[in-house]
Structure 1
Amino acid sequence: MGGSSDGEQEHHQQPPTAERPPVDASNGYQTRPHPVSRGYMNGVYYPSWLVYKDKTPATLDVANITHIFYAFVGVNEDGSLRWIDEHADLVKDVDGEKGALHALAKLKRQNPHLKTIVSIGGGADSKQFCTLAASHNGRQTLAKQVRHLCDRYKLDGVDIDWEHPKNTAEGHDYVKLLQECRNVLPENTYLLTTALPVGQYILKHIDLRAVSRLVDYINLMAYDFTGSWTSVCGNQAQLHSPRGGLQSSYPELGVCATDGVEYILSKGFPSRKLVFGVPAYARYFPVAEGPGCSTEGAGEMDYYEMPDEWVDNAVVEETSVAAWYVDANSGKGYITFDVPKTVHMKAKYVVHKNLGGLFYWTGTGDKPGRLSLVAAGKRGLDE
């Protein structure tokens, strides 16, 4: 759903014929808005394919985490679920269990405060949503199977990560899909969340007031504002839009998280159901010496892979709430990423706006100790 790990997923994908999670026939629950907890979320996405890099669920910083989103389980056009990597999910030895899903269940048993949620779709496996969501049978099939998946693997709920409904018809089907999921996932027992970008070009297709009556949280993906797809490089996850000559020449560099937050809240969406996303990865631009330069050769790297020196010596733009560093010696050039200070500032913004908390793509991308982004966010939310 963003971050450097989406591409890695392809290395371990199973064919569509991999074993499907079985179907549960239960249905027919009443729909009511879920009461939102007074506590803040400080959640992380856990990409299952990182078990191949020894980044298992047990390596997550559970002391600073409230929710874990297991990414991803795939979908077929008929609404049935499929394993994207059955070996990682169910077979590989992970934390003394068979598969990452059982390892996640073990982690939850050991840390009962955790909420575990399975994320369906993701950036590399969303194209099937438009077909399945347009079908009553497809929506019902998906809802029944995610309910069974939650019950079988002791998960607390489901995250619908359709990237993204691209027109009014798909936006309407998206809401109907959420409704079907809520019907079989009663709000007093299960969480229902969804991930959306900050861009109004997507959000305008969705009835956000209707979504608010169905979900516990929207996870707002407040990152990926710049990359190989933009004409020049800039801050990839800025809170506010910088003002200056660069933004006048390249309006795309003015894209910021607060625009998405304000738009969603303006549609009557409850602030405490909106969770703010933080990237635990960097984007780099090898031929750039700062914002506004060429995106040629753009790439990504996890935050934990970066030298501590880059973090300690990063330029922190307090007005936009963003950080960057230039390192010609590494071949990475201009690097845009979050640091503990910017995450702490974003946490204070969350508190100020009475939002639901923070989430990180990904928990495994974080650094330990004093440079931890997850810990910095938790401190900011708790203060």
Structure 2
Amino acid sequence: MVKRNLLLSLVIVITLLGGFFIGVIYSEKSTHKESSHKTRLEINPMPKSETKPEPKQIPKPAKSKVLIGYVQDFRNPSVVDYSKLTHVIFSFAHPAKDGRVLLNGKMAVDNLKAMTAKAHQQNTKIMLAVGGWYHIQGGESYPYFKAAITNPSARAKLIRGLVNITEREKLDGIDIDFEHPRSQADAENLDIFIKSLSSRLHAKKKELSIAVHPKIHSVTKTEIHFVVYKPEMFQYVDHVNIMAYDGQWDGGYNASNLSPYPFTEKIVNYWDHLFENYKLPKEKLVLGVPLYGQPDNPAIKQVSYAAILHNNPANAGHDTVAMNGTTYHYNSQLTMQRKTKLALDHGFGGMMLWETGLDATGQGSVTATISNVLKSSDRNKERFYTDAKR
């Protein structure tokens, strides 16, 4: 009986111990399996198809390219094709040394009013250019402009006058054409003037542009240093209109250097690199082209593009023409198209014309030719944006 009880007790103990060890072994195996499963999940995350997809990044549509046309104050306002332009710049108002804003009499005032009305009928912006090469009171504009922006009192007066005229005449902005800042002091004063004028105009939702020297020598194709700008200044303007012409005066008179394509290539590269180095938006840059022919004989006056085509419509396909006892150098339709594409390929904001009143009409119009290239570029970018949304 004692033996049997002892034997039964041993069986019970062994059974209990066996269950305990089995439980420990099962628990360890379960823990190992769970740990292994977690490791596999961490190494092999859920396929992307089983996760929430990231929202598609849709690029913003590019701004429409600008086509800016300068128009001289004596032009009949009816000669301008406003429908092809985004901006018309009425040229010129003149700064007096004491900061007053001068216009060329009643004729200029009346033309400005008429041009403003016609531009706004076509949803085209109109701006007033201040400066230019010649001054209304005689000689170069440079000493007048320099005095007006150097003296703090005159500078403040000039800024007030320009802001007032935009409001009084219902203009869309001001264009500054200081030809040209010729020292570091000039550049500093121009920077102060532009920064202050920009603040005043932009507060009233008006635009500010600046016309600039091409900064490239047409013969050597190297940078010109006698014209000085402070690059940081360009952050305060909406458009930088590059006067990429009149190279005929570089290194001795040569009419063929007016504005040939290789000269323009160097200009575009210079401004492209400048804006890239200073981290400025390249869409501010606007490439200018000439609408006139430069004569080999400097004693003969320039001739308009309209006159060149009036002589023979086939002249639209050439860059030179023999007329009036001399040879004229100009930009053909093909050259204008190439220059426009060059500007677009470098991310420029558009094109500028000097001067719209010199253009031909109808199929020979340079304004229409460049407008078509710019609009085609805008349509292509809009299609890209639309496709990206799908």
Calculate the TM-score normalised by the size of structure 1.
0.73
Does the C-alpha gap of structure 1 residues 46 and 314 become closer, same or farther in structure 2, counting only changes over 3 Å?
closer
Does the C-alpha gap of structure 1 residues 202 and 68 become closer, same or farther in structure 2, counting only changes over 3 Å?
farther
**Which residue matches 1:81?**
101
Q: Does 2:366 align with 1:344? A: no
Does the C-alpha gap of structure 1 residues 110 and 150 become closer, same or farther in structure 2, counting only changes over 3 Å?
same
Q: Does 2:124 align with 1:102? A: no
Does the C-alpha gap of structure 1 residues 276 and 311 become closer, same or farther in structure 2, counting only changes over 3 Å?
farther
**Which residue matches 1:290?**
none
Q: Does 2:130 align with 1:120? A: yes
Structure 2 Cα separation of the partners of residues 229 and 119 of structure 1: 29
Out of 271, 291, 301, the position equivalent to 2:282 is 271
Give the counterpart letter for 1:369 in structure 2: G
**Which residue matches 1:218?**
240
RMSD between superposed Cα atoms in Å: 2.4
**Which residue matches 2:40?**
none
Give the counterpart letter for 1:221 in structure 2: M
**Displacement of 1:264:** 3.4
Higher relative contact order (CA 8 A, sep 6+): 1
**Displacement of 1:188:** 6.6
Give the counterpart letter for 2:237 in structure 1: V
Q: Secondary structure at the match of 1:306?
A: helix
Q: Secondary structure at the match of 1:226?
A: helix
**Which residue matches 1:325?**
321
Q: Is the 8 A contact 1:228 1:298 kept in 2?
A: no
Does the C-alpha gap of structure 1 residues 306 and 229 become closer, same or farther in structure 2, counting only changes over 3 Å?
farther
Structure 2 Cα separation of the partners of residues 165 and 202 of structure 1: 11
Structure 2 Cα separation of the partners of residues 315 and 372 of structure 1: 12
**Which residue matches 1:9?**
none
Higher helix proportion (structure 1 or 2): 2
Deviations 1:77-101 (A, max 9, x none): 1111112x112123xxxxxxxx112
Q: Does 2:220 align with 1:171? A: no
**Displacement of 1:310:** 5.1
Q: Is the 8 A contact 2:316 2:364 kept in 1?
A: no
**Displacement of 1:307:** 3.9
**Which residue matches 2:252?**
230
Out of 43, 47, 60, the position equivalent to 2:72 is 47
**Which residue matches 1:68?**
88
Q: Mark the structure with the bigger radius of gyration.
A: 2
The aligned runs of 1:21-40 (5 Å cut-off) are: 38-40=63-65
**Which residue matches 1:363?**
356
Does the C-alpha gap of structure 1 residues 232 and 101 become closer, same or farther in structure 2, counting only changes over 3 Å?
closer
**Displacement of 1:313:** 4.2
Q: Does 2:206 align with 1:190? A: yes
Calculate the TM-score normalised by the size of structure 2.
0.72
**Displacement of 1:267:** 4.1
Give the counterpart letter for 2:113 in structure 1: H
Gaps of 5+ in 1: 1-35, 51-55, 91-98, 242-253, 287-295, 317-322
Does the C-alpha gap of structure 1 residues 232 and 362 become closer, same or farther in structure 2, counting only changes over 3 Å?
closer
**Which residue matches 1:382?**
375
The aligned runs of 1:191-210 (5 Å cut-off) are: 191-199=207-215, 200-201=223-224, 205-208=228-231, 210=232
**Which residue matches 1:245?**
none
The aligned runs of 1:225-264 (5 Å cut-off) are: 225-227=247-249, 230-241=252-263, 256-264=266-274
**Displacement of 1:272:** 0.2
Runs of 4+ in 1 over 6 A off after TM superposition: none
Structure 2 Cα separation of the partners of residues 147 and 162 of structure 1: 17
The aligned runs of 1:9-24 (5 Å cut-off) are: none
Q: Is the 8 A contact 2:83 2:124 kept in 1?
A: no
Q: Is the 8 A contact 2:255 2:294 kept in 1?
A: no
Give me the identity figure in percent.
21
Q: Is the 8 A contact 1:42 1:357 kept in 2?
A: yes
Gaps of 5+ in 2: 1-60, 136-140, 216-222, 377-390
Structure 1 Cα separation of the partners of residues 312 and 252 of structure 2: 24
**Displacement of 1:203:** 7.8
Structure 1 Cα separation of the partners of residues 120 and 370 of structure 2: 25
